[in-house]
Chains A and B, each alone.
Chain A
Amino acid sequence: MRFGLSRLILLLLVSLISLPGCEQPPVQFVFSKKTNELMPEAAKPVKEALLKQFGNPFALNQFEDLPTDFGDIQGTVKSVETTEKDQPLIHFQVTGLENTYHKLQGLPLEWTSGKGQGQVSRIKSYDYETSTVTIEKSAEIAPQPGETFLVECVRLQQGRDLYNRHCMHCHGMSGEGTGPTSRYLNPPPRDFRLGIYKYTSTKQTSKAQEADLSRTVKDGIAGTYMPSFKLLTDDEVSAIVNYVVWLSIRGEIEKKLDDELFLDYSKEQLSERTSEQGGETKEEVLEELKEFMELDFPDTLEFATSSVAEAWEEANLEDAIVIPETPRVPDTPESRERGRKLYLSDKTKCATCHGPQGRGNGTATHDFWTNPATNQKYPNRGLHDIWGNQLSPRDLHRGIYRGGRRPIDSYRRLFAGIKGTPMPAFGGSLSSQELWDLVNYVMSLPYDGNR
């Protein structure tokens, strides 16, 4: 026999060895580059705070004070399965979770009555068919029939699952824009962690409305790799948007904490401070850091959280939307001509970037520009966005409108600029009529016959 018994055993062994490899690897939200550039003693509390407030992709955490729909669901214990003493898990049947999202694994479960009131357990597994929840045993809890609990982050988990299925492969597990397919894309997928979105209906200083993000998900962004997800239901889209905003909030809070610490406690700063010129010892720096962590860090964290949360709440108010003061000026040759003059004028300087013919080849695209974040020149000619990507001004003849092709979309682009890009806001300097003239001119360009 060629294929002997020993080989058969080997084959079986190989498959046995590969079995544990199928287990889900632990997945964690990544931290930003800046956090990792902090000295380890300063980075640790930042990471701990983020972990406490947001958890990890497969162990989400609820943190109140955020404008996020966490979707807490109340449930009641129906019966508890008796288990051996040395069993590490408790299984119990519940009521109240029948009409909710069916994947609850990894979510926090807070006891609201009984012995364990106030304690938080993690759901190890959940069987939707039999309504059976499994948690780890602990001394503080002893579920009894009739006791109530809250399952937290159910809505967030639904958004996470949809996001991981449809969006994660480009936008990344933490919304950092470096998923496995991102390397094939130009323009690169958005990094959500700055909390800045380009195509919004809101004023220059406001964040994006949920409706703006929903529209982007539903209609896609023409001219980029962001496809339309129109076949998702409204509920699914809003769950995704809820999760994406939550990822943004996480990134923004991280950035605010980093900014606070970076000036004094980055790795670079540490080596400078402990050098001969700096004259401090490492112990002194650590002592100062410790003091800061005890006295100021909690407030910093709270302030960062509340300011980010507030900004997102404000963006969804009605008066954050750009609404033109006057209806669209009729699209006449005269209006287009007025728009053309404005386009070429020094008042708007449109032509500097978009070029005198609107081909996106203005003189600005030949200059070296300074990165406002680092105060250094970019290595390449041309304009850049705040994500550090090179950005060419739009060729207005192509008839592709990334932020939507309605006149109001172009109006809002002009009024509030494009956030995160050098496209400025003209809401203050131009009147409503002038903006409409510009819209009429710009929107006529793709059809002007000289294509």
Chain B
Amino acid sequence: MGKGWCLFFLFWPVAAVASCAMAPFVNWSFPYNNAQAASNLGIRIDGLFYLILVITALVFIGTQAILVYALWRSANNRDKRAMQIHGNHKLELIWTIIPGLILLFLSIYQMNIWADFRIQKYFPEAAVKAPLAEVTGRQFEWRFRYPAIGKKLQQKPQSDDLHSVNELHVPFGKPVLIQLRSDDVQHSFFLPALRVKQDALPGLQIPVWFEANKPGIYDLVCAELCGWGHYKMKAHVIVESESDYQKYLKNLTQQQFYDGLGKIASQEASVESEATEK
């Protein structure tokens, strides 16, 4: 093989590394302009991601460097013929044990985060005690059911429950738990900004907790192809202060029990526009 081929095989790994390094600067990385995760758990999950990225990057660069070096050396030494060998116990042991150790390290290292996120025993107690809402995915929208102010979320719908669609309000700075359900097919509750993703399965009620660390309006999308209208299944999660949240619930109560007399309709409009401005 000529030196041209050496350069060819050098070019691709360099291009791959360069495009990865460039990604955060041209908005190809994490969503919302590579913004930091909006939850502490999300930041820890990103930490895992970066750790794995560094390990795989080192391995990739190392193996590619060795490959190019081997090509280059033999290109400079054309008289020497390549030699066929069959098996090398030592080498095989090395390249089995080292990745094995890396995987073992990763699986032990991530256990805490996984447990905090998914194992119900480790869910924040405050959130488990008073679930915020029931979230139901259906073709093709998200529907939310909050308990009445001062009451607890029940398994079965109650007459004083508060309902909304495609707009979930969440108090900021405290862990919240939602009960995830599906009305029809599989959906997936995906909050990219908070790094939360959980499939919703028909017939199951799955608790999911998250804690936003900064107020804002975040996208809630469906991450499981659920039918022809999958792309329509987009909602907003509005993270706001506890007092704003209570105000919202109060307003929702008034709207929902509106009997056609009085002036709630105008309030409704003003609150809505505030939410979109934020």
Q: Do A and B come from one complex?
A: yes
Where the two chains meet, the residues of A that have a C-beta atom closer than 8 Å to any C-beta of B are: 166, 181, 184, 219-220, 222, 225, 227-228, 230-231, 233-234, 322-324, 327-328, 399, 405-408, 411-412, 436, 443-444, 446-447, 451
Contact flags (1/0) for B148-170 with A, using CB distance below 8 Å? 00000000111100010111000
Known interface pairs A405-B256, A446-B157. Does A327 touch B261 (Cβ–Cβ under 8 Å)?
Answer: yes
Q: How many residues in B have their beta carbons less than 8 Å from beta carbons of A?
A: 29
Q: 28 A-B Cβ contacts within 8 A? A: A166-B232, A181-B229, A220-B165, A222-B165, A227-B139, A227-B140, A227-B141, A227-B229, A227-B232, A231-B234, A231-B236, A233-B276, A234-B272, A322-B260, A324-B260, A324-B261, A327-B261, A328-B259, A399-B157, A405-B256, A406-B256, A406-B258, A407-B257, A407-B260, A408-B258, A408-B260, A436-B259, A443-B159
Which residue of chain B has the shortest Cβ distance to A451 in the bound complex? B156
> Which residues from A are CB-within-8-Å of B105?
none
A411 and B260 contact, Cβ closer than 8 Å, known pairs A231-B235, A233-B276, A406-B255: yes
For the complex, what is the distance from the CA of A109 to the CA of B158, rounded to whole Å?
A: 57
Q: Could you tell me the distance between the alpha carbons of A405 and B157 in the complex, rounded to whole angstroms?
A: 13
Identity of the chain A residue whose Cβ is nearest the Cβ of B273 in the assembled complex: A234
Which B residues touch A444, using CB under 8 A? 159
List the B residue with the shortest CB-CB distance to A398. B157
Chain B: minimal CB distance from A206 (Å): 16
Cβ of B140 and Cβ of A327 under 8 Å apart? no
What are the residues of chain B within 8 A of A220 when measuring CB–CB? 141, 165-166
In the complex, which residue of chain B has the Cβ closest to the Cβ of A446?
B157
Which residues on A sit within 8 Å (CB–CB) of B195? none
From A228, A406, A446, B165 is in contact (CB under 8 Å) with: A228
For B159, give the chain A residue with the smallest CB separation: A447
- One of A225, A227, A323 near B261 (C-beta < 8 A): A323
* Other A-B pairs, 9, CB within 8 Å; known A184-B228, A231-B236, A408-B259: A228-B141, A228-B166, A230-B235, A231-B166, A322-B260, A405-B256, A406-B255, A406-B259, A447-B159
* A411 CA to B255 CA, complexed, in Å: 15
What is B's interface to A at a CB cutoff of 8 Å?
139-141, 143, 156-159, 163, 165-167, 228-229, 232-236, 255-261, 272-273, 276
Chain A residue, CB-CB nearest to B233: A227
Give chain B residues whose Cβ lies under 8 Å from the Cβ of A436.
Answer: 259
Instruction: Specify the chain A residue showing the minimal Cβ separation from B261.
Output: A327
- In contact, A230 and B165 (Cβ under 8 angstroms): yes
A318 nearest CB across to chain B (Å): 12
Chain B residues contacting A327 (CB-CB under 8 Å) are 259, 261
A223: min CB distance to chain B, Å: 9
A178 to B220, CA, bound (A): 30
Q: In the assembled complex, how far is the CB of residue A412 from the closest CB belonging to chain B, in whole angstroms?
A: 8
| Chain A nearest Cβ from B114, distance in angstroms | 32
Q: Which residues of A contact B234 (CB under 8 A)?
A: 231
Which residues of the partner chain A approach B158 to less than 8 Å between Cβ atoms? 447
Shortest beta-carbon contacts, A-B, top 6: A408-B260, A328-B259, A230-B166, A227-B141, A228-B165, A447-B159
Contact B159 A407 (CB under 8 A): no
Q: Chain B contacts of A222 at CB under 8 A? A: 143, 165
A166 partner residues in chain B, CB cutoff 8 A: 232
Known A-B contacts A222-B143, A233-B276; A407 and B259 likewise in contact (beta carbons under 8 Å): yes
Q: Which residue of B lies closest to A406 (CB)?
A: B258
| Whole-angstrom distance between the Cβ of B27 and the nearest chain A Cβ | 21
- Rounded to whole Å, the gap between the CB of B77 and the closest CB of chain A is 35
Tell me the complex Cα distance, A228–B163, Å.
Answer: 13
Q: How far is the CA of A35 from the CA of B203 in the complex (A)?
A: 48
Closest to B143 in A: A222
Q: Which residues of A contact B272 (CB under 8 A)?
A: 234
> Whole-angstrom distance between the alpha carbons of A446 and B161 in the complex?
12
CB of B262 to closest CB in A, whole Å: 8
Residues of A contacting B255 with CB < 8 Å?
Answer: 406
Q: In the complex, how many angstroms separate the beta carbon of A88 from the nearest chain B beta carbon?
A: 40
Closest to A323 in B: B260
**Which residue of chain B is the closest to A449 with respect to CB atoms?**
B156
- Residues in A neighbouring B159, C-beta threshold 8 A: 443-444, 446-447
CB A167 to nearest CB in B, in angstroms, measures: 11
The answer to whether B259 and A411 have CB atoms under 8 Å apart is: yes
Residue of B nearest to A324 (CB): B260
Residues of B within 8 A of A323 (CB): 260-261
Q: How far is the CB of B272 from chain A (nearest CB, A)?
A: 8
Bound-complex Cα distance A324 to B259 (A)? 8
A408 to B139 CA separation, bound complex (whole angstroms): 27
- Complex Cα spacing A322 to B260, Å: 8
Measured between alpha carbons, how far is A166 from B157 in the docked complex, in Å? Answer: 31
- Which B residues are in CB contact (< 8 Å) with A411? 259-260
Closest chain A CB from B182 CB (angstroms): 15
Residues of A within 8 A of B143 (CB): 222
On whether A230 and B259 interact (CB within 8 A), knowing A181-B228, A399-B157, A443-B159, the answer reads: no
A406 to chain B: which residues have CB within 8 Å? 255-259
Instruction: Report whether A225 and B139 are in contact in the complex, using a CB–CB cutoff of 8 Å.
Output: yes
When distances are taken between beta carbons in the complex, the residues of chain A under 8 Å from B163 are: 405
Give the Cβ gap from A247 to chain B, nearest Cβ, in Å: 21
A85 to B157: give the CA distance in the assembly, Å: 74
Q: How far is the CB of A199 from chain B (nearest CB, A)?
A: 15
Q: Closest chain A residue to B139 by CB distance?
A: A225
CA distance A451 to B154 in the complex (A): 15
Chain A CB count within 10 A is highest, among B141, B235, B276, for B141
State the CA gap A228–B166 with chains docked (Å).
7
